[in-house]
Amino acid sequence: MSNHAFDLDTLLPGTRFKAGPMTLTEEAIIAFAKEFDPQPFHTDPKAAAASFFGGHAASGWQTAAVTMRMLVDSATPFAAGAIGLEIGLSWPKPVRPGDTLSVEMEILDIRPSSKAGRKVATLKTTTTNQNGEVVQVMTSKNILFGNGPAPGEAI
């Protein structure tokens, strides 16, 4: 994991990172919904047309999960490990089949942890679709692991 180490001291409030993009197919939306959120507006495009969403929409939990995946795959501080302590989530617009999502994360606050190689950060993570519409806003307090031992290495 050492190759993923990240110099946390370069991170300041206002620092921003980008992650993604990732496209959600209809098949992926249905598969996730069948496993984790089998409500008809997520599992059944036809039923969804007459629903609150006015069309097929991904589970918000899928938006949260793929946002996490994009962050882990990116060159953000998450690459050396991040653990969420408190999360706030909202989904201002539905995610539709074929939407291509991308992520921007901003550091709102960052301070030393009592343990070396760790910081505690408050992050705002915004997920948008291909039209720049915000589909998820996440605020989170996280432990970030940086240029000390990464999670998974002996400490």
SS3 44: coil
Quick one: which of 20, 77, 81, 146 contacts its own copies (CB under 8 A)? 81
SS3 87: strand
Q: Which residues contact 35 (CB under 8 A, 6 or more apart)?
A: none
Whether the ω angle into residue 21 lies within 30 degrees of 0, i.e. cis, is yes
In the numeric block, which tokens belong to residue 25? Answer: 């197919």
Helix (H), strand (E) at residue 42: helix 40-43
Quick one: which of 50, 75, 130, 133 contacts its own copies (CB under 8 A)? 50
By CB under 8 A, residue 52 contacts its own copies: yes
Quick one: which of 12, 111, 131, 154 contacts its own copies (CB under 8 A)? 154
Q: What is the DSSP letter of 77?
A: G
By CB under 8 A, residue 83 contacts its own copies: yes
By CB under 8 A, residue 61 contacts its own copies: yes
By CB under 8 A, residue 69 contacts its own copies: yes
Burial class (CB within 10 angstroms; exposed 0-12, middle 13-18, buried 19+) of 127: buried
Q: By CB under 8 A, which span of 10-18, 104-112, 122-130, 144-152 interacts with its own copies?
A: 144-152
Q: By CB under 8 A, which span of 6-14, 58-66, 103-111, 120-128 interacts with its own copies?
A: 58-66
By CB under 8 A, residue 106 contacts its own copies: no
Helix (H), strand (E) at residue 8: none
The site for its own copies (CB under 8 A) is made up of: 1, 35-41, 44, 47-48, 50-53, 59-61, 64-66, 68-69, 72-73, 78, 81-91, 143, 145, 150-155
